[in-house]
Amino acid sequence: MDHRQWTVVGAPSSAGAHTPGIERAPAALRAAGLLGLLGADVEDAGDVPGFRWRPDPAYPRGQNAGAVAAVASAVADRVAAALGRGRAPLVLGGDCTVTVGLVAGCARAGLSPALVYVDGGPDLYTPETRANGNLDAMGLAHMLGLPGTLPEVAGVGPAVPLLSPERVVVYGDSLPRGDHERELVAELGLAYVPADEVHADARAAARRARSVAEGAADRFVAHFDVDVLSFVDAPLADVPEPFGLSLGEAAATLAELVASPRFAGLSVTEINPDHLPDDELLPRFAGVLAGALTGR
């Protein structure tokens, strides 16, 4: 894994979030030493223009949609440039909607990737089903072009939809049966690897997700929202999830995915520096993340 050439793209935006805070995550991860831990062959492409969350009463069910689309489009430009030079983009969010930019950037580079969506929830809400209007709960819905999604967000890439259901793997959540999003996963026919399967054997679960992604497309990318983690084990996320994966399970998952020769890029989202209990957690997380991404 040490041979992989990473290009880091910062996306300091909380436009799609509930409240501000996560726009500071890219700077915090850099300060925690992430880039140095990734090794010598890493370049920092800097930050795209960011956005700090503010209420959007004119569009309460799709707040800050213009800013969400602008950030994702800027991310897509830098992702496409990195891929064009044979490098692997590592997008540091920011909220989950930056992953729209990761996938759109692949499309701008001529790829039709699969997506492994490692998240505490699959983000399949739309403005019609999510009354509080935070678009970071709707990212995958927009990439799939579900009914009721917003054209400016769904249209960031060169085609709508950016993804078809067979190119998506939903991974790592603990949603109960009957939950709206879990029902949508089944209705849409998305491949599904729940948290229970990861708890039983994280490497085997990740191998299944990788196999599905490799079978669905020539290349695949991964989205990693830290709210998939148990908040007690790793209190990093903007929205705490009590029954998530351990940090070790997440690291094993990412290591397996990144080891694939068809892996093309990764987004890391939803870290809220305000939630850190001390100055030690984020450097520890950066070390675990870098270890997974480099195979060390």
- Sheet with 263-269, edge to edge strand ranges: 42-47, 6-11, 88-93, 263-269, 220-225, 114-118, 168-171, 191-193
Mean pLDDT of the chain: 96
Looking at residue 258, its amino acid is V
List, for residues 16-39, the tens digit of each pLDDT value: 999 999 999 999 999 999 999 998
At residue 267, what are phi and psi to the nearest 5 degrees? -115, 145
Q: What is the mean pLDDT of residues 28-53?
A: 96
Please report the beta strands in 64-202, taking only residues with DSSP state E, as ranges in sequence order. 88-93, 114-118, 168-171, 191-193
List, in sequence order, the alpha helices (H) in 85-216: 98-108, 139-144, 151-154, 180-188, 195-200, 202-216
Instruction: Grade residue 1 by pLDDT with cuts at 50, 70 and 90.
Output: very low
Distance of CA 68 to the CA centre of its chain: 14
Report the percentage of the chain scoring pLDDT > 90: 94
Count CB-CB contacts under 10 A for residue 40.
6
What tens digit of pLDDT does each residue of 109-136 get?
999 999 999 999 999 999 999 999 999 9
The tokens for 152 are 């400016």
Q: Is the pTM of this model over 0.85?
A: yes
**Mean pLDDT of all residues in 70-92:** 98
DSSP SS3 for 44: strand
Given this model, what pLDDT does residue 78 score? 98
pLDDT tens readout for residues 57-72: 999 999 999 999 999 9
